[in-house]
Copies of this chain bind each other. A is one copy, B any other.
């Protein structure tokens, strides 16, 4: 797991969903009432905020438009205005919006303020699909899980942990036992877990890592970038709008597409599911009915993408949207030339 996270340090594995790994990142590093800075980049950032609130943390949740990632400038200003912040929570790839925040720039922005806050990053839907560098980017806790880029069923949660985060765990006072890193890291050194590990998924993980290694992580990342670019080319050729607005932030693993106001995105999704047996992502939270999401995540190749986009194009036409039929061609041009 270390190369996938971009770390030379041990990675903590939980029998849990990604939500459990979110909780673990917080309870290992923070104390009741601690101030946390987070950003409303979409549905999952909002859920993480809710979780932190449930645990008794005091979250400063900077509003956002669900079409941008975390702005490093806004982050620096927020930190400067709020010196008591103990941790900054950032969702790397917002699965609800198809926007990928720029973690390296975020780290630099924090460093320039000289603020000692921990940087906690949700890499649930990016890990293993999008270039990620826990150590190089100075992330303190990276949260992830098994069922996205790691190609597995749900049931494994991960925390990659910096030296600084481990030090914070020594004084953190949120009650913890199941999520406590220390007994897990200690038992792992001897080849054990402090409680029953999710053995079947660990066998699967070994195979997933072999699959990623065979293609080569750099090639995996390039494949996802190409698929994102080809998908956006199709969307634009159809005359529709990609939700993500900043060229630097388009997600390589999924593309959220805005539908014209007179159409219901969920009706289009239902039609495509019924007619072509393809399930697109729904609009989550405030995007309900307004977007559908095209996933190009995990074990996916050029022809799967072409088939996916063909299904979307036919579905849009059948739903009565006047889409330009050049969408597929636009995508294929990208796939052919990159």
Are B197 and A153 within 8 A (Cβ)? no
When distances are taken between beta carbons in the complex, the residues of chain B under 8 Å from A138 are none
When distances are taken between beta carbons in the complex, the residues of chain B under 8 Å from A177 are 23, 50-51, 54-55
- Number of residues on chain A facing chain B (CB within 8 A): 34
Q: Quickly give the copy total for this chain.
A: 2
When distances are taken between beta carbons in the complex, the residues of chain B under 8 Å from A178 are 16, 19-20, 22-23, 51
Answer whether A196 and B17 are a contact pair too, CB < 8 Å, given A23-B177, A177-B23, A201-B155.
Answer: yes
Are A196 and B145 within 8 A (Cβ)? yes
Q: Does A260 contact B (CB under 8 A)?
A: no
Are A200 and B155 within 8 A (Cβ)? yes
Chain A stretch 145-174: residues in CB contact (< 8 A) with chain B? 145, 147, 153-155, 174
Q: Does A199 contact B (CB under 8 A)?
A: yes
In terms of DSSP, what is the predominant structure of the interface of chain A?
Answer: loop
In this complex, the member of A145, A147, A154 whose beta carbon has the largest number of chain B beta carbons within 10 angstroms is A154
Chain A stretch 173-222: residues in CB contact (< 8 A) with chain B? 174-178, 180, 194-201
Q: Does A114 contact B (CB under 8 A)?
A: no
**Which of B15, B54, B196, B201 sits near A176, CB closer than 8 Å?**
B54
- The chain B residue sitting closest to A22, CB to CB, is B178
Are B175 and A15 within 8 A (Cβ)? no
Q: Does A295 contact B (CB under 8 A)?
A: no
Bound CA span A23–B194, Å: 14
Answer whether A196 and B56 are a contact pair too, CB < 8 Å, given A32-B175, A155-B201.
Answer: no
